[in-house]
Amino acid sequence: MGKQVTVPFGPQHPVLPEPIHLDLVLEDETVVDAIPSIGYVHRGLEKLVEKREYPEYIYVAERICGICSYIHSNTYAECIEEIMHIEVPERAKYLRTIWSEYSRLHSHLLWLGLFADGMGFESVFMNAWRLREHILDDMEATTGGRVIQGVCKVGGVRRDIAPEKLDEMLKGLRGMERELHDLTDVFLNDASVVHRLRGAGVLKTEDAYYLGAVGPTARASGVPIDIRQTGYNAYGKINFTPVVESSGDSYARCAVRAKELYTSIDIIEQCIKKIPDGPVDVKVTGAPDGEYFARAEQPRGEVVHYIKGNGKRNLVRHRVRTPTFTNIPPLVTLLKGCQLADVPIIVLSIDPCVGCAER
């Protein structure tokens, strides 16, 4: 048994897009413990709810995260609508589903690119982001924003998509599917990639369950948890099965995300076929009085928004529990016993989004 050495990892590190600090306790080359510390980008957004009125706060809620921005605003709106008993039109629910899946596509493609970059596979990184650009173009054409969509509001959505545009989007996605096969083949079948990922950071099914892992991290370990199956938005009317892998290593987490791209395209296709006509929003008057706890499936996992109102224009409490925050305890377990060289891959494999985790 060698001498123990503590190596700081982050907050600035080439593989980390956002600041998280890990103290890695090493014995020779093996990590025996990892102590995470967060708090580098804390912005106090939850406190801001006392200063902004509830319809305005949706723009703040959307800015919790830059990647899963749309789903944050959707979940916040869902909370307020439940408290105020607002019936959202059907078309708005389908549109929300379409945009949620678009943001999942763009997040997963972004992550696949970053993951390839973490492994040193630059050309795959470029190709993943090239494909992501088509998704962002479609989002900008329909909502007006590339990253911050600003399209969701309490009582519905702010913009409608014309039927011709929906057909065009579907055609674009089908055309992209072939290129996606080429991209995901690299992650699933390339010998050097598989050699690098197989067996790196194994999370057992029981550990994933007891440590509260969510999203692809849990599904890669064989826990079939997917909040979309609770049927919020229009997910209840759509047939899909969550992607579940059983090996629990970095390869499985990568495979879950790669295969979820096709699930998302399938969901968008079903939505476009089933979308009904009608209005996209209802008028909202009054203020929320009560509390609600809404869950939604983000690209990284389950997000929880808790809201408490007292009948005034400003809310009393807004609490967000984001998927990255939930995935930090599994991350610490994953790191124990791995090699130092595998740390970047394992940290990236839970898709850390520190902006989300710290709000």
List contacts with other proteins (CB under 8 A): 52, 56-57, 59-60, 63, 121, 123-124, 127, 130, 133, 137, 140-145, 148, 150, 158-159, 182-183, 185-186, 189-194
How many of the other CB atoms lie within 10 Å of CB of 39?
A: 12
- For other proteins, the closer of residues 29 and 133 by Cβ is 133
- For other proteins, the closer of residues 7 and 126 by Cβ is 126
Q: How far is the CB of 189 from other proteins (least distance, A)?
A: 6
Q: How far is the CB of 291 from other proteins (least distance, A)?
A: 23
Written as one letter, the residue type at 176 is M
Written as one letter, the residue type at 194 is V
- For other proteins, the closer of residues 196 and 300 by Cβ is 196
DSSP 3: -
57 in Cβ contact with 63 (< 8 Å): no
Q: How far is the CB of 35 from other proteins (least distance, A)?
A: 36
CB half-sphere exposure, 153, CA atoms < 13 A = 14
Query: Token pair for residue 212?
Result: 């509260």
- For other proteins, the closer of residues 153 and 300 by Cβ is 153
Q: How far is the CB of 17 from other proteins (least distance, A)?
A: 20
Separation CA 208–CA 145 (nearest Å)? 36
- For other proteins, the closer of residues 103 and 326 by Cβ is 103
Instruction: Give strand pairing partners of 26.
Output: 5, 31
- For other proteins, the closer of residues 16 and 105 by Cβ is 105
Residues 6+ apart with CB under 8 A from 47: none
Instruction: Give strand pairing partners of 166.
Output: none
Written as one letter, the residue type at 306 is Y
Nearest to 250 by CA among 308, 305, 310, 195: 195
52 in Cβ contact with 326 (< 8 Å): no
Q: How far is the CB of 57 from other proteins (least distance, A)?
A: 8
Q: How far is the CB of 297 from other proteins (least distance, A)?
A: 25
Nearest to 224 by CA among 236, 215, 235, 233: 215
Q: How far is the CB of 182 from other proteins (least distance, A)?
A: 5
State phi, psi for 339 to the nearest 5 degrees.
-85, 150
- For other proteins, the closer of residues 89 and 145 by Cβ is 145
Separation CA 180–CA 203 (nearest Å)? 27
Q: How far is the CB of 9 from other proteins (least distance, A)?
A: 29
- For other proteins, the closer of residues 153 and 308 by Cβ is 153
